[in-house]
Structure 1
Amino acid sequence: MKLWLPFAASAGALLAVASFVGAGWDAPPVASEQLGFRGTGMFQHKDIETEAALKAANVVPPAPWQADPSGDKASDLYQNVQVLGHLSGDQFNQLMAAMTEWVSPEAGCNYCHNPENLASDEVYQKVVARRMIQMTQTINVDWKSHVAETGVTCYTCHRGKGVPAQVWSSSLEPKPAGNMTSNRNGQNVVAVNAGNSSLPQNALMDYLLGDKPIRVHANTALPTGVNTVGTMETEGTWSLMMHMSESLGVNCTACHNTRAFNDWDQSPPQRVTAWHGIKLARHLNVTYMEGLTPVFPANRKGPEGDVLKIGCATCHNGVQKPLYGVSMLKDYVDAVAVKGSTDVPDFSTYVPGKTEVLGGAATSVTQP
């Protein structure tokens, strides 16, 4: 008799029991959805318990009240209203009340304003908020290729926090010890933005800030010299794909037929939406976030001193459609679904605590 058999059987039995009752183990009910033609293996599998938690975390808050679009304009009622001056006084106050709940429910108005002088720009968060309103308007007007008619508001990303939970920046932590480990190319550490894998940890710098080519797929099994990308570029692309997958709570088949990753004709339409999403995130980081570098204090920047930036998870927060596709725009159409002033001040001149007015006070509106 082989003595190891009873031990192996006992270990197997203990493992089976642990899979159901042990800490950290889970055998949840799973819902499966077929996405592609039968035989392609294109399925999404979702943990029903996790889905219930996600739905509870993605409830759209109601508007504080239904605003009256008539009456005097905000630019006539208040000072230093540069982007929202086209709103009526009631619409302006409604948006301010909503933003308080979306971004700073505990600090209230004082998070962005000096309570002794609400018109002043001396609190840096007000300068940032004004630029973020411009960003939100741009997304809703110019990027329907990604957000469609659903659009976004401040709440899409902030969810009651001053800084959205899902942002990213460059990171070299943990620093290499030196010698042979000093050039690890951002690998062999936990890549938080790539599904906690050991893929390149700063790949988002290449693709969601820079415009490094993403496509690495060859059309032949063996090298021909036509496709010159190598393992390093492939791992970078893989890191980005892991980020997108984790951000949306989906697998590869949400955007690809995995028998032919490179073939657009065999891919679901969501791949086109995702392509626009990559371009959108890159545009927002370059045009809006990077420009605010002089305004943000050191404690609102990453470990390497760069500003916190936007990724797929910033809006999606683990679900394929942010807030499960529920639109908030109907209550704030005039505020964030049209463009107010697009003027950009010189942020390098801003001095927190001293600058009372940064930029002009234009109130023109560009309809979508």
Structure 2
Amino acid sequence: MDNNLDLKISDFDYDLPPELIAQTPVEPRDSSRLLVVNRETRALAHRHFRDIGEFLRPGDLLIANQSRVIPARLLGKRAETGGAVEILLLTERPDRGRDVWEALVRPGRRLREGARVLFEDEKQTTRLEAEILERTETGGRIVRLFIPNQTELQSDDPYRLLDVKQAIEALGHMPLPPYIHETLQDPERYQTVYARIRGSAAAPTAGLHFTPQLLERLQAQGVRVGFVTLHVGLDTFRPVETESVKDHKMHSEEIDLDEATAALINETQKAGGRVVAVGTTSVRVLESVAAVGDGKIVPYHGHTNLFITPGYRFKAVDAMITNFHLPRSTLLLLISAFMGKDLMETVYQEAIQERYRFFSFGDAMLIL
């Protein structure tokens, strides 16, 4: 059996001192700490991320998620009452039409089907509108975005030629996780240096530690780099709320693995190199594609709702780079599946004792 869903989420809880939740990123990116975990020997090593090359070999392949975070947090007002509204765009829904999104909304109770939300620029001119189409099973909303009265704009109006995605870029705010309370001075610090395909509602944070110079050094020592895409969506914002893990419903996320990356992975495996996933999102892409291909890596574009829990047998990933994850989360279950629950608990207690920084802007692990 690949998964053991007969688990209790309360067994994947831990106490974290609040001061260990990283509020700001460190500079430079690769000066964050790195806890290296050997699954076979259970040995732990304390390093900095810039030292990761010591633990990688020529012929290893890093697979990273190149998704780019969009400024998905839109602050507006209800057209009917003027009341404040916040919409967090999670994932596009082309199956429902153009510029239709699944989103979280606040205040949710008052935003029923047919409600309209106005988003204004600094001149209090409405530049973007949202129409609430329906409520989702999990309490979110399906919303349609559009630019109002675009044909009536003056020829010199900077919004005249914008499409909806460009308007989101102009009006939106970076959607930092709710446990980060500090203002992010540079929005690019919530993007990886290789992010290029827009679509995520949150950063694939394991990749935030890489600098262009570090990537160059790793490639110079014979480590290759390939890219996949997973647009991080709803599950990043949803803890496991059911006590029984088997009752948790994973939402679907869009993934892409192209022909060039598939060839890199197959070459690496054939030559005996290790496939090192940068982050849990890359893990989910690789394992989802392996499941579709019956263990083989082939080009793939589609969606995944793969839920990895202890008992899962990994088919594509040999090692993993990851941050420290929230208690009672699907990501902690995935990490426990990869290293074993007992070792995970040992590692996390070691990280707390050694005052590692946790979550999105925190430190990293390399699990070998």
User: Shorter chain as normaliser: what TM range?
Assistant: under 0.3
Would you tell me which structure has more strand in proportion to its own residues?
Answer: 2
TM-score by length of 2: 0.25
Report the TM-score, using the length of structure 1 for normalisation: 0.25
Structure with max Cα Rg = 1
- Structure with a larger share of its residues in helix: 1
